[in-house]
């Protein structure tokens, strides 16, 4: 199994995590065995060996009515795929063991799991993030603002390892009650008139906040502003089908389910066509100018069109979307984009990973290849 991203399908955070073997065991899908109570709902899995025992309950067992007979089964997982024939029980219950390798981060409840304050650096803006497409939007925006000479956009970018559950620390949850990267804390105080730190979560909200604060990359009014916000919100609504739908079922789910892959491939190709048609009539999504709409859409759909997401370039025939490719190349060539896309990255070429960014010079001095060279010289 490749790296999931908590079911959200966000690519780009592969980190040292548990191996596939931890999917095996009670409730596992690739071997081992499971005992379950048939009378509470469920269905046979492909290739399973099932032994039935009818029990006459004298005492209530796991809450079933005493008057009903109970059927118990033993399911031997033979390594066959998870069944697609699943009858949901009346009430879903959280079976932690079924979470496999991601049991520590997939939860049906919100809120912190542990106490941990967030670090604070020297700059006005503190970003808590990770170099997935959702995180890249904000680091690209900050680098673009700095490139324009907006020195108030200097920032510390701290790494949040979502595979290790950092998003459930009390400090992070205070910055984003939704426990997802990216989260921004603006500590510039008097600049905002409030005197205190301002938290902003959801990448779209962060982009608008920064665009308004610095007066850049968001047209002031009229049709251009409406077009920009429309494409910005298009991204927020569309990418979950790409990441949580297509990416999850094509690349990460423990079994390939044709129905799910078909459904989300159809939608992903439709979305690429939506973009391709828009970019046939306009240079950038909002019109003649590069805006936060492009900054939001590029990390997802630019990456997809260049065959960089989910190993799906050939499957989706991404080269056919010529206008998206033209636009993706133009944005990818911007120096600020080249910088922003490597911040908080944990994956890929070490020279293209700046795991934490606290100073503009870090791009020259503190990429992972440089840090590793210093470490090996010292040892
Ligand atoms: N709509 C959110 C999506 C953020 C999101 O899905 N973040 C993922 C990483 S790309 C995350 O933090 N997942 C951790 C988790 O689900 O526990 C945004 O645009 O900011």
For residue range 219-274, what is the model confidence (pLDDT) as tens digits?
A: 999 999 999 999 999 999 999 999 999 999 999 999 999 999 999 999 999 999 99
Q: For residue 282, report the distance from its CA to the centre of ligand 1, in Å.
A: 30
Number of Cβ within 10 Å of residue 31's Cβ equals 14
Take atom 19 of ligand 1 and give the residue whose Cα is closest.
203
Mean pLDDT on 293-313: 98
Burial 85-113 (b: 16+ CB within 10 A, else e): eeeeeeeeeeeeeebbbbebbbbeeeebb
Helices and strands counted in the chain (H then E): 11, 7
Ligand 1 pocket, 10 CB below 6 A? yes
Does residue 341 have its Cβ closer than 6 Å to ligand 1? Answer: no
- Going through the chain in order, the beta strands assigned E by DSSP cover 32-37, 49-55, 70-77, 125-129, 155-159, 183-186, 198-201
Closest ligand 1 atom, residue 180 Cα: 12
pLDDT confidence tier of residue 21, bands split at 50, 70 and 90: very low
Out of 97-111, 145-159, 163-177, 179-193, which region has the weakest mean confidence (pLDDT)?
Answer: 97-111
**Predicted pLDDT at 160:** 98
Does any ligand 1 atom lie closer than 6 A to the CB of residue 176? no
HSE value, Cβ hemisphere, 13 Å, CA-based, for 65? 2
Q: What is the mean pLDDT of residues 299-320?
A: 98
Report the pLDDT value the prediction gives residue 191, as an integer from 0 to 100.
53
- How far CA 92 is from CA of 13, 42, 43, 46, 85, in Å, comes to 30, 11, 15, 22, 16
Q: Does the Cβ of 167 fall within 6 Å of ligand 1?
A: yes
Q: Show the tokens assigned to 57.
A: 């309950």
Residue 69 has a CB neighbour count (10 Å cut-off) of: 10
Is the pLDDT reported for residue 337 higher than 50?
A: yes
For residue 8, report the distance from its CA to the centre of ligand 1, in Å: 7
- With a cut of 90, say whether residue 124 has pLDDT above it: yes
Chain centroid to CA 347: 14
pLDDT > 90 in the chain, percent? 70
Q: What is the pLDDT of residues 51-66, one digit of tens each?
A: 444 443 433 333 333 3
180 lines ligand 1 (CB under 6 A): yes
Per the CB < 8 A criterion, the answer to whether 299 and 341 are in contact is yes
What average pLDDT does the segment 13-33 reach? Answer: 34
Q: Select from 7, 9, 10 the residue to mutate for testing ligand 1; criterion: most ligand atoms less than 8 Å from CB.
A: 10
Indicate the pTM of the whole model. 0.82
Cα of 148 to ligand 1 centre, how many Å?
A: 28
The confidence band for 95, taking pLDDT boundaries of 50, 70 and 90, is confident
Q: Which atom of ligand 1 is nearest to the CA of 135?
A: 10
pLDDT in the model for residue 82: 52
**Please, what are the domains in the chain?**
2-76 (no CATH), 125-362 (1.20.1050.10)
Surface-to-core class of residue 338, CB atoms within 10 Å of its CB (0-12 exposed, 13-18 middle, 19+ buried): middle
Alpha carbon nearest to ligand 1 atom 8, residue = 180
By alpha-carbon position, which residue is closest to atom 14 of ligand 1? Answer: 180
Contact 114, 170 (CB under 8 A): yes
The answer on pLDDT for 331 being more than 90 is yes
Q: Which pLDDT band, with edges at 50, 70 and 90, does 377 fall under?
A: very high
Q: Is 239 in the pocket of ligand 1 (CB under 6 A)?
A: no
Average model confidence (pLDDT) for the chain?
84
Tell whether ligand 1 has an atom less than 6 A from the beta carbon of residue 344: no
- 119 CA to middle of ligand 1, Å? 20
Report the distance separating Cα 21 and Cα 29, nearest Å.
Answer: 11
Return the CA Rg of the chain.
Answer: 24
Q: Where does the pLDDT of residue 120 fall: very low under 50, low under 70, confident under 90, or very high at 90 and above?
A: very high
């Amino acid at each position: 199994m490749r790296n999931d991203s908590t079911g959200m399908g966000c690519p780009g955070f592969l980190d040292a995590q548990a191996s596939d073997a931890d999917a095996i065991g009670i409730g596992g899908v690739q071997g081992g065995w499971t005992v379950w109570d048939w009378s509470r709902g469920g269905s046979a899995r492909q290739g399973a060996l099932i032994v039935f025992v009818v029990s006459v309950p004298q005492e209530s067992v796991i809450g079933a009515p005493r008057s009903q007979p109970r059927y118990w089964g033993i399911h031997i997982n033979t390594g066959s795929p998870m069944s697609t024939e699943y009858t949901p029980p009346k009430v879903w219950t959280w079976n932690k063991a079924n979470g496999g390798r991601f049991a520590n981060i997939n939860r049906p409840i919100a809120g912190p799991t542990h106490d941990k304050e967030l670090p604070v650096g020297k700059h006005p803006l503190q970003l808590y993030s990770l170099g997935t497409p959702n995180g890249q939007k904000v680091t690209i925006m900050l680098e673009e603002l700095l490139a324009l000479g907006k020195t108030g956009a200097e920032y510390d970018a701290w790494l949040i390892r979502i595979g290790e559950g950092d998003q459930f620390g009390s400090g992070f949850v205070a910055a984003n009650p939704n426990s997802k990267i990216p989260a921004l804390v603006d500590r510039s105080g008097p600049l905002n008139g409030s005197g205190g730190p301002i938290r902003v979560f959801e990448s779209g909200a962060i982009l608008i906040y920064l665009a308004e604060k610095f007066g850049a990359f968001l047209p002031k009014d009229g049709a251009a502003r409406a077009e920009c916000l429309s494409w910005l919100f298009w991204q927020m609504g569309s990418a979950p089908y790409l990441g949580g739908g297509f990416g999850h079922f094509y690349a990460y789910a423990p079994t390939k389910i044709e129905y799910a892959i078909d459904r989300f491939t159809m939608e992903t190709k439709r979305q690429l066509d939506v973009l391709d048609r828009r970019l046939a009539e306009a240079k950038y999504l909002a019109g003649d100018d590069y805006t936060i709409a492009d900054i939001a859409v590029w990390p997802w759909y630019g990456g997809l069109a260049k065959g960089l997401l989910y190993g799906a370039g050939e499957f989706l025939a991404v080269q056919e979307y010529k206008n998206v490719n033209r636009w993706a190349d133009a944005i990818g060539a911007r120096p600020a984009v080249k910088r922003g896309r490597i911040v908080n990255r944990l994956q890929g070429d070490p020279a293209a990973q700046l795991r934490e960014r606290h100073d503009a010079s870090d791009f020259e001095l503190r990429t992972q290849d440089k840090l590793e060279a210093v470490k090996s010289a010292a040892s």
